[in-house]
Amino acid sequence: MYETIETAKDDAVLVVTLNRPDALNALNAQLMAELSDALKQAEGDNAVGAIVITGSEKAFAAGADIKEMASGEFATMYLEDKVSSGFDQINRCRKPIIAAVAGYALGGGCELAMACDFILAADTAKFGQPEITIGAIPGAGGTQRLARSVGKAKAMELCLTGRMMAADEAERCGLVSRVVPAADLNSEAIETAKKIAGFSRPVTLMVKEAVNRAFETSLQEGLLFERRSFHAVFALEDQAEGMAAFVEKRKPAFKNK
Q: Footprint of ligand HXC on this chain (CB under 6 A)? A: 23-24, 26, 62-67, 83-84, 104, 106-108, 111, 130-131, 134, 136, 139-140
Beta-carbon neighbour count of residue 88 at 10 Å?
13
DSSP bridge partners of 178: 120
Nearer to ligand HXC, 88 or 209 (CB): 88
Nearer to ligand HXC, 65 or 238 (CB): 65
Residues 102 and 125: their CA atoms lie apart, in Å, by: 5
Residues 36 and 108: their CA atoms lie apart, in Å, by: 15
Catalytic option among 107, 108, 128, 141: 108
Q: How far is the CB of 57 from ligand HXC (least distance, A)?
A: 12
Catalytic option among 33, 64, 121, 167: 64
Is 241 labeled as catalytic in the residue annotation?
no
Is 188 labeled as catalytic in the residue annotation?
no
Question: Contact 51/14 with Cβ under 8 angstroms?
Answer: yes
Question: Contact 146/128 with Cβ under 8 angstroms?
Answer: no
Nearer to ligand HXC, 142 or 252 (CB): 142
Q: How far is the CB of 172 from ligand HXC (least distance, A)?
A: 22
Q: How far is the CB of 182 from ligand HXC (least distance, A)?
A: 16
Tell me the one-letter amino acid at 167: A
Residues 67 and 89: their CA atoms lie apart, in Å, by: 24
Is 80 labeled as catalytic in the residue annotation?
no
Question: Contact 236/256 with Cβ under 8 angstroms?
Answer: no
Is 131 labeled as catalytic in the residue annotation?
yes
Nearer to ligand HXC, 110 or 206 (CB): 110
Catalytic option among 122, 131, 142, 155: 131
β-pair type (178-180, 118-122): parallel
Catalytic residues: 64, 108, 111, 131
